[in-house]
Amino acid sequence: MSTNKFEQRALTQINEGLGLTLLKFFFKGKVKKMLKRIEDDPEVISAIQGIEFHGKELKKQIKDFEKKYGRKPPGPKNRHQMRFRGERY
Tell me whether residue 45 is in a domain: yes
What domain range includes position 49? Answer: 41-72
Tell me whether residue 16 is in a domain: no
Look at the chain and report how many structural domains it folds into. 1
Tell me whether residue 32 is in a domain: no
The per-residue pLDDT for 67 is 92
Tell me whether residue 46 is in a domain: yes
The per-residue pLDDT for 60 is 93
- Per-residue pLDDT tens listing for the chain (89 residues): 456 777 777 777 676 677 777 777 777 787 778 777 877 888 888 988 999 999 999 999 989 999 999 988 777 666 555 555 555 54
Tell me whether residue 61 is in a domain: yes
The string of DSSP codes covering 25-85 is HHTSHHHHHHHHHHHH-HHHHHHHHHHHHHHHHHHHHHHHHHHHHSSPPP--SSGGG---T
The per-residue pLDDT for 54 is 92
Whole-prediction pTM: 0.47
